[in-house]
Amino acid sequence: MSSLFRQNFTDPARRKATTVSRGDTVHGALEHLRAQARKDEPRHLLFVGSRGIGKSHLLSLIVDEISISKDLSKQLVPVRFPEEANRVLSFADFLLGLVEILKDARPDEAIWSKLYEHYETEESNEIIAEALVPAIYKEAEALGIHFVILMENLNELLTTQLRKTEEQKAFRQFFEQDNRCLLLGTTPISFTGYTAKKGTFYDFFKESLIDHLSEEETIELIRLHLTADNHENLLKNEKLIDEEFFKNELRPKLKAIYRLTAGSPRLSMMLYGLITDESILEIRKQLETLLDRITPFYQDRLKDLSAQERAALETIACMRSGDKTPKAIAAKLRLSQQQTSTLLKRLSQSNYLASGKNPFDGRQSIYWIKEGFFDIWLYMNNSRQGKKRIPFLLDFLALVYPTLEEREEKRSQYREKYGMEADDTLDLLSELGTEEERFTEKIRLAKRTSSSNPELYLQEARGMKLDSMGQWLAQRASINHLDEIEDLIHCWEEHRLGNLENFAAKLSEMANGFTYKNYSETKLSFIENHIEEITELEERAKLRLAAARILIELAHWERAEEHLRKAFEELPEDSKYRSWAMNDLASLLQATNRLGEAEPLMRRALEIDEASFGKDHPNVAIRLNNLASLLQATNRLGDAEPLIRRALEIFERSLGKEHPSSKIVSGNFQILLQEMGKEE
C-alpha cells in the first residue's frame, strides 16, 4: 500500500497507477512550468486545498512526470523542500536550504557542496543573499536549466516563518527576477498575503484549487489500490476484482468511506483496510487506531483556522440532534446571527462545511461538517458521551448496513456463527436503526443468557422514544418477562406496519391458546389494553370473548364482564357472535349469582341461534344446556328437563353418543333426573 504521508516511500509506478482525477491538474502544471521557463507566464503556481486532499501526492506526480519526460528533464530540475520547512526563518535560510538540497541531489556538481559548506555558519543574511543568488543563477544558466522549487504549506512559510516584510519582499523579488527558479507551492487555505491587494504576494501566484474526489472517484481510488495490492480474497484473476463481490460486498463499504471522508484521498487510504475485514470488532479496533493516528493531522488543520472558526466547527460537531440551522448554531455559539452567518460562509468557502435546505422547512438552510470523519473526531474530542458511545464506528456501520434487512442479516450471521461470543458485536449493532428497531435488539440482548448486564439493556430499552404500544411494552420490560415481551414485539411490528389484520390474528391466536395453566398475565394485559386498536367490529368482539373466557377461568369476574358487555353492545343485531356474547355474559352473571339478569340473555341467545343455525344445530344444543342449567339452579326442574333432553338428542344425533359434548350433557341430564327423583 502506498505511503500516507511520505511520498518518497511510494514507488512512482504505483503512484501513477493508483492516481485518480489529478491527470488534468498535473498536465496543466507542466504546461505552466514550460511557459514560465519561456518567460511567457509571469506568475508562479500555487495549489490550494485542504489538508489530506493530495497536494503532496500531486507534487510527487509532477516530479515523476518531469523525470520521465525527455524534454522536460533537460530543462527542469525539481528541488523539493521538506513538507515542514521549519528551518526557513529568513530569505537567507531559504537560499541555504535550496543549496543544501542541491548538494545532496546533484553530488556530481561540486559547486553546491562548496557553497553550502562555506556559508552554512555565516551569521550575516546579507552576505549569504549577495553570494548565493548570483551563484544559483550562474550555475543554472551554465547548465541551461531552471530549478523548480517545490514548497508546501506556503501559508506558514510566507506569513509566520518569514515574519518581517523585508524578508517576504526579498523572497518575492528573487522569483520575479530572472534567477532561473520557478516556484510551485501548496497551501491548505487562502491567506491574505496573496489575496489582499496590499499583501506582499498579491498577484504573485496563479492559483489552482484542488477539490475533494467525488464518490465515484473515491471508489475508483480504493479499487485501484485493491488491485495493486493483489488482495487474493477479492480478485477474480490476477488483474480484475470479482465484479459481483465488488458490487454486493465492497461497494456499500466504499460508499461509507466516502461519506466519512467526503472524498479526502488521504483519509480514504487511511480507512482503506476497513473494507476487506468482515469482523465488526476488528473494524472497531482499526477505527480507534485511525482516530488516534489522525489526531495530529486534524490538530494541524484546526491551526489553519481562527478561534471563532474552530469554535463554530466544534459546536456543529457536538450538535448530534436537532437541525443545525444558522439560528440554532448562533444560539450555541452565543453570537449574533449575522456573525454566525459570516463564519458559516467562510467555513463553507474553505470546504469545511456543506449546506442544504432543511427538509422540514424549505425556507431554512442547515449546515454540517463536510468530512464525516473530521466531524466524528471533533465530537469525540469534545464530548464525554462520545467517548462512551464510539459514534465513529456506529456512523460507519450505519452507512455499511443502511437497511433493516441488511442489519438483520448481519445480526443473524453473528448469532449463528459466534453464539455467545457475538455479544459485543450485537451490542454495537443494537445502536443502529430506528428507535423501534433498537428497542427490539435491546430486548433480545437482555434475553441472551450470555449477556453480562441484562438490566443495562433494559434501561436503554425503556429510554427509547416509542409510540404508545411501544411505551406499554417498555414499561413492562423486566428480566422475568422477556420471553413474553419478545413475542409481543412481533404483534407491535404488525401494528406499526399497518397490517391490522395480521395484528388481530396474532392477538386472537394468542388469546385462543390460553388456558388457566399456560396463560401469561403480560400477554393477557397486552390484549386487553390494545383491543381498541382493532377496527373491525366482529374481530374485536371475538377477541373480547376469547379474553373474557380465560378471565372467567381465572375468576377475574369484573374484567371479564367488562369485555363481554362491550362485545354485546358493539355487535350489530344480526351478528352471529352476538349470541355468543349474550350467552357468555349470562353464564358469568349466573356464576356471580345474578340469575335474574342472566335468564333473559340466555333465552335471547337461544332464539338468535335457532334463527341463525336451525333448531337442530350443536350451537343450539349448547344454549339449551346452559339455559337448563340456570333453570335447575332456580329449582325449576320441570322446565329444565325438556331443554336438556333436547340438547342431548341434538348432540347424539349430530356428533354421536361418544363425543365429549354428548357425554357432558348426558351427565348433566342424569344429575337433573336424580334431583327430580326419576331414573332413565
Radius of gyration in angstroms for the set of CA atoms belonging to the chain, rounded to a whole number: 41
Residue 402 confidence (pLDDT):
84
User: What are the mean pLDDT values of the chain's consecutive 10-residue runs (680 residues total)?
Assistant: 45 86 92 82 82 88 93 93 90 96 93 94 94 95 94 91 94 91 90 86 91 87 80 48 62 79 80 67 72 80 88 89 86 92 91 82 81 80 56 76 88 81 83 92 84 82 91 89 89 91 90 84 91 88 89 89 88 80 85 86 85 86 89 88 90 88 87 80
Residue 416 confidence (pLDDT):
84
Residue 4 confidence (pLDDT):
37
Phi and psi at 164, nearest 5°, equal: -80, 140
Beta pairing partners, 366: 356
Evaluate if pTM is beyond 0.85: no
Residue 6 confidence (pLDDT):
40
Residue 1 confidence (pLDDT):
33
CB-count exposure of residue 220 (10 Å: 0-12, 13-18, 19+): middle
Q: Tell me if 367 sits within 8 A of 355, measured CB to CB.
A: yes
Cβ-proximal residues to 197 (8 Å cutoff; 6+ apart), any chain: none
Q: How many CB atoms lie within 10 A of CB 243?
A: 9
29 — alpha (psi -120 to 50), left (phi > 0) or beta?
alpha
Question: Could you give the angle at which helices 391-400 and 280-293 cross, rounded to 10 degrees?
Answer: 130
H/E element, 210: none
Residue 245 confidence (pLDDT):
60
Q: How far apart are CA 673 and CA 656, in angstroms?
A: 22
Q: What is the pLDDT of residues 224-269, one digit of tens each?
A: 887 787 765 554 444 445 566 666 667 777 888 887 777 888 878 8
C-alpha cell at 259: 461519506
Residue 284 confidence (pLDDT):
73
Residue 278 confidence (pLDDT):
61
Residue 244 confidence (pLDDT):
61
Beta pairing partners, 147: 77, 181
Beta pairing partners, 235: 241
Q: How far apart are CA 8 and CA 617, in angstroms?
A: 96
Residue 390 confidence (pLDDT):
63
Q: Tell me 159's DSSP state.
A: I
Describe the strand order of the beta sheet including 205-209 as a list of residue ranges: 76-80, 146-151, 181-187, 44-48, 205-209
Beta pairing partners, 185: 46, 151
Q: How far apart are CA 520 and CA 123, in angstroms?
A: 93
Beta pairing partners, 149: 79, 183
Residue 447 confidence (pLDDT):
87
